[in-house]
Structure 1
Amino acid sequence: MSFKGKVAIVTGSSSGIGAAVAMSLSAEGASVVIVGRNEAKLAATKAKCANALVVRADITIDADARRIVQQTIEKFGKIDILVNNAGNSILASIFDENIMESYDFTMNINLRAVFRMTSLVVPHIIKTKGNIVMISSVTGRSTSFGAQAISYAVSKAGLNHFGAYLAADLAPHGVRVNVISPGPVYTDLIENSGYDGSYDVLKFHTALDSVSHPQEIADLVLMVANDKAKSITGSNLFCDNGWMIKRY
């Protein structure tokens, strides 16, 4: 796969899946815009990319989202690919006092920020007839992560439908939109959300008894973002080690 001459924005690319996506796109010739909040982690990702622009930003802030797009156009002149990867959550069940704090925080970054970021990129990506990839989760289709994941699951279900709806809206403009739904992945998201379980517990819920590494998700992103996937749009591709088919 070659992404030579392409310009890609990857949100949440200071670590985990986003970092793997940015580095993989760069290795295939793309110019990448690395977006995140942790300056040290952003620098570490940039060091492994050949042609990268680092934008330290919080995508939940509208002014920051505009700045990401503005600096990308100023530096590279166009946008071919948007990978909406940034996400987070505060775990809480419907029975917990902090459920609305969990809901507001999670929906703000996992759905509203994605909606805003995408709306800003759309005019530019129509010009290049590029494509958009949403990083969702099996939680958007499954209740197996438990009661405390309810806000996260609802946000990802919304992201799934946003991706499908957007694919229909942008198809007449020659722009493709696809969703990727990972199962458990070795990243810092789980720890950051306050999850107190182990990866062994998550592994048990998969048919292949395995947890993915970020590079596996990055490989799938490159597959659907590549021009050779020109007929794939409106799809939700699962990379979950068989989470959705596990028999108990």
Structure 2
Amino acid sequence: MASTSSSADDNHHTRSTSLPTRSHPIVLQAQEEIQKFKQWEASVSSVPTAATICSALTRLQVLYECVDSVLSLPLTQKALTQSQYTELVNELLDKSISLMDICGSTRDLVSQVKENARNVQSALRRRKGEVSLTTSFIKNLKKDAKKAIASLKQIDEKIGDMKPLDLDQHLLSAIKVVRDVGVVRSSVYRSLLLFLSGSVEKPKPTRWSLVQKLIQKATMERNGNLEISNDDMVCLFQEMENGLDCMFRSLIKTRASLLNVLSR
């Protein structure tokens, strides 16, 4: 996966109106979890695999829980209720809707690939060769993945265009946690979408999507001696789908925390 970076955050930080000597323990814990993720990400291969993506989704769930904990802090809630931060809360709410859309569409793509893999599995068991509409399915998969990546890029650009704010030290740290997790999230989602569409650079000249590889090997060999068995492939897709379900629920919790601010 691509290495995460929080350099964009530096463009949004100007000064703080108060300078406590130490951040809240929950904020410190969130920062520590973000650093752990970055260290793990740097240790894995630059070419995403099903296993690393599943692991990343699990680790990302921990980060989303950190975001929810930070936003739910009475100190954070009280700070965000101040009128000068209404625009910031609304921007975060708009972003949460876009993220839910991307998470949902990515989950749908994974579900489609999982069902296609099951169809291949069923066809092999019946010894009926390739699955019909495979080429069409792969073409649509690439198109949908490309569209989701473009939407993800637009969200990242919106974050880059956010105006600098004069935040107190706690809120400055809290918003940085939200944005740092956003950088991690973008890296994971993009890797997953590229992996599904087969757009990741491979050591070999030929590029095949995951489903293309499965079908090609199954058609040529027909003896079950695949690098990854069909059963394992379906299980991996199911694990990805479960991870994205968790992400979606976490985004709902984050949105609820922000709406709670506006209702005060």
Whose relative contact order is higher, 1 or 2, with alpha carbons under 8 Å and at least 6 apart?
A: 2
Question: Which structure has greater strand proportion?
Answer: 1
Q: Which has the higher helix share?
A: 2
Is the TM-score greater than 0.5?
A: no
Q: Rg larger in 1 or in 2?
A: 2
TM-score normalized with structure 1 length? 0.31
